Amino acid sequence: DTGVSQDPRHKITKRGQNVTFRCDPISEHNRLYWYRQTLGQGPEFLTYFQNEAQLEKSRLLSDRFSAERPKGSFSTLEIQRTEQGDSAMYLCASSLAGLYTGELFFGEGSRLTVL
Amino acid sequence: AQSVTQLGSHVSVSEGALVLLRCNYSSSVPPYLFWYVQYPNQGLQLLLKYTSAATLVKGINGFEAEFKKSETSFHLTKPSAHMSDAAEYFCAVSGTSNTGKLIFGQGTTLQVKP
């Protein structure tokens, strides 16, 4: 199966530590999105890339958050100096620009627990 | 700005009963609208989408939704609930710019009772 994959699936860390999540999109997809989902809420947009360019960032993405997609393929989302409020599911999705059907293909998410 | 409101965070139906999950949207431009389903420990999966063609949209697993511009609604229905339909359902609207970004509602958890 060549769907969107995310790693790790679960991460437990102590407050103040840095964490990094990786997302591998569907191979031919040039757009990649990061969302955050907290319990009882819908996914909230964080940022998106088209190829290697980061084209939009949400105000939710504080200075402690950084995302990269260096070669236009996989992406990483790093959270520095984690806080308990960062505990959430981090979702990655991909799509193909230009052939707009509106559908985003989601991975299973990376769940972060900050103690 | 665009937004989505899902009425009812929890809906409970009996197996075989009608499923109705409500979604209202706000958009300054003609919207694209979506319903996604999330089963426990799985990623979001597209159920159906409206992209300005037919107003009655059929999706997977017997679900359908009707786009009603006058009511700014896109409610999800299924004539007969099955136990396997128990999941969380999200309505979403596409952003105003051509980014492909989706804006989601807060979700509705569907419980199906035997």
Please judge whether B43 and A33 are an interchain contact, meaning their C-beta atoms are less than 8 angstroms apart: no
Q: Do B41 and A103 touch (CB under 8 A)?
A: no
| pLDDT value at residue B86 | 96
Q: Say yes or no to pLDDT of A1 above 60.
A: no
Inter-chain contact B44–A48, Cβ cutoff 8 Å?
no
Extract the tokens encoding B25: 């949207």
Question: Between chains, do B105 and A109 touch, taking CB under 8 Å as contact?
Answer: no
How far apart are the CA of A14 and the nearest CA of chain B, in angstroms? 23
Bridge partners for B89 per DSSP:
B37, B108
Q: What is the pLDDT of residues A8-21, one digit of tens each?
A: 999 999 999 999 99
- Phi, psi at residue B77, to the nearest 5°? -135, 155
Strands B108-113 and B102-104: unpaired
Question: A3-25 burial, b for 16+ CB within 10 Å, e for fewer?
Answer: ebbbeeeebebeeeeebebebbb
Residues contacting residue B77 through CB under 8 Å, at least 6 positions apart: B18, B19, B20, B21, B63, B64, B65, B66
B20-70, pLDDT tens digit by residue?
A: 999 999 987 778 899 999 998 888 999 999 987 788 999 999 999 999 999
Residue B18 distance to chain A (closest CA, Å): 24
Q: Does A98 touch chain B (CB under 8 A)?
A: no
Size of the A and B interface in Cβ pairs below 8 Å? 64
Query: Given an 8 Å threshold on Cβ–Cβ distance, is A4 in contact with B92?
Result: no
Phi, psi of A71 (to 5 degrees): -120, 15
B contacts of A23 (beta carbons < 8 Å): none
> What pLDDT score was predicted for residue A71?
87
Stretch A56-65: mean pLDDT: 91
Question: In whole angstroms, what separates CA A31 from the centre of its chain?
Answer: 12
Tens of pLDDT, residues A37-60: 998 899 999 999 999 999 999 988
For residue B78, give both structure tokens.
């299924």
Q: Hey, are the CB atoms on B43 and A4 less than 8 Å from each other?
A: yes
Q: Is A70 on the interface with B (CB under 8 A)?
A: no
A1 touches chain B (CB under 8 A): no
Q: What is the pLDDT of residue A100?
A: 58
Torsion of CA B96, B99, B103, B109, to 10 degrees: 140
Q: Is residue A98 pLDDT above 70, yes or no?
A: no
Q: Report the candidate in A27, A20, A30 with the shortest Cα–Cα distance to residue A5.
A: A27
- Residue A55 token pair: 């084209």
Cβ-defined contact of B32 to A108 (cutoff 8 Å):
no
pLDDT one-digit tens code per residue, B88-102: 999 999 866 677 789
